[in-house]
Amino acid sequence: MIPTEQTPPYNPSSTERRRHQRFKVPERTLAITPNIIGQIVDISVGGCELKYIDNSGELASEGAMDILMNDKGFYMEHVPIAMAWQDRPVSSALSTIVIRKIGISFTDLNPEQQERIDYFIKNYAIGIA
């Protein structure tokens, strides 16, 4: 009898849904919205992942954010965004600080904004995420 390979069952949680390569960014790269200031963990031409201290500042499902990397002199304002996903906060009896993660999609970027995102990735990314 000839052994046959079976296809593993479909597992949506393990399926990569990103369309663009993600890149790590320096720790001091910030995202600023009207309600939160967060650290950008990684970025692509289509969006980014943020982590921030949850102080009950809700991020609107759509809006704009600024990207700041002060030590490199990079500042980009009014980047149109939409929330792609949001983690569930985990409370801890040992800490009153809750760190959250959210995924952000860049929406309706004009050509200049897209060029600035490309420039940021090419000049400041520190590796593949």
Render pLDDT for 29-64 as a digit per residue (tens, 0 to 9): 999 998 889 999 999 999 999 999 887 766 778 999
As a residue count, the chain comes to: 129
Rounded to whole angstroms, how far apart are CA atoms 3 and 121?
A: 46
The total of other beta-carbon atoms located within 10 Å of residue 32's CB is 15
Instruction: Give the residues across from 100 on adjacent strands.
Output: 52
What is the pLDDT, as a whole number, of residue 28? 93
Residues 67/120, Cβ–Cβ less than 8 Å: yes
Q: Which domains does the chain have, with CATH numbers?
A: 20-128 (2.40.10.220)
For the full predicted model, state whether its pTM sits above 0.75.
yes
Tell me which residues of the chain have a pLDDT lower than 50.
1-16
What is the pLDDT, as a whole number, of residue 99? 87
